[in-house]
Amino acid sequence: MTTTTTATVEADLIRIIGGIDNLPTPPIVMQQIQKVLNDPAASAYDIGSILQEDPAMSARVLKLTNSAYYGLVRTIESVRQAVVIVGLDSIRSLVLSASVFEAFSGKDLDRELQEHFWRHSLAAAFGARLIAHSLTSRQTFDAEAGFSGGLLHDIGKMVITFYMPEPAQDIKQLKIDFPNLPDHELEDRVLGYNHTQIGAVLGERWKLPANLIETIRYHHAPRLTPTKENGLPYLVHTANHLATFTFDYDAEADTYLEPLHEGALEFIGGNEHDLPVLSQRLREEYSRAETFMEMARGGH
């Protein structure tokens, strides 16, 4: 695709996304917390004060903090206490999770697809966090940024599903006809663009950090990331593969597994022998994540 064509597609995408009525926007509290967390002087008191201005968000953050995933020995009763116990970066992940779940909740369209979407997104999020904690490389990965990237990497698919129903059905049929082609290639055939581009435009509208927007855009092709010091696309690319390998891949049934890009594992400090071990650990991590899925389904 030429630069001119790319620019034209981007302009069309911005126009299309901008023209969608009722496109979800994240709660103001999410943007406020992103801003405060970028301040090195931010304190638990500052974050707690912002969260307390949004009682519904406070309740969701507390529910996730007290979930089996964190395995805390005592119940956390206030958001300020939650910030102190799980840390500022984890709170950022929890607020983002609750915000995204809320933004796309209450939709009855294709419940089976939504269930699979959130399970895969959460598996990629937990996988990215797990990889960041498990592997060492020539750079240090931010585990919570990895979680956010994993959670959001496919968010453009939700825009297609909810706001482009006719193309979504065409893509669904193509997936049946061509089971061994990745979703983004099927979307390109129908739309002329795909969920990575849609998700990046949505991320810009949501004022997400630049490294997350790049991760959404390039998670299928991390080597194309223009900011070469941003290793997050490699981390999420690998986590996406790990999540599919762990929960959706069936070698005997010959289900499709998009291959890792050459050099991706080496870039993050791993090798092919790490995948089975990480896969088993991801199953264990994910088994404690049902509260996240309940919230994704719309249960508050």
d(CA 48, CA 36): 11
225 shares its domain with 182? yes
Reported as a single tens digit per residue, the pLDDT across 194-217 is 999 999 999 988 888 899 999 999
Number of domains in the chain: 2
Q: Do residue 80 and residue 116 come from a single domain?
A: no
**Residue 291 and residue 171 share a domain:** yes
Q: What is the CATH number of the domain that holds 266?
A: 1.10.3210.10
Q: What is the pTM of this model?
A: 0.90
Using the 8-state DSSP alphabet, how is residue 224 labeled? G
114: its two tokens = 């939504």
Residue 55 lies in a domain: yes
Final residue before a domain boundary, out of 103, 131, 154:
103
Residue 14 lies in a domain: no
The CA–CA distances, whole Å, from 102 to 39, 123, 166, 257, 292 equal: 26, 19, 24, 30, 12
Question: What pLDDT does 75 receive?
Answer: 93
Do 165 and 290 share a structural domain? yes
Asked if 59 and 23 touch (Cβ cutoff 8 Å), the reply is no
Domain span at 135:
108-296
Alpha-carbon distance 13 to 8, whole Å? 9
Answer yes or no: are the C-beta atoms of 64 and 291 closer than 8 Å.
yes
Helix/strand/coil for 147 = helix
Does residue 209 sit in the same domain as residue 64?
A: no
Q: How confident is the model at residue 299 (pLDDT cuts 50, 70, 90)?
A: low
Whether residues 263 and 128 fall in one domain: yes
Between 8 and 132, name the one with better pLDDT: 132
Within a domain: 89: yes
Q: Which pair of tokens denotes residue 105?
A: 């909740």
pLDDT in tens, 34-57: 788 778 787 878 888 888 888 888
Residues 47 and 98 in one domain: yes
Q: Per the structure block, which two tokens stand in for 176? A: 């049946």
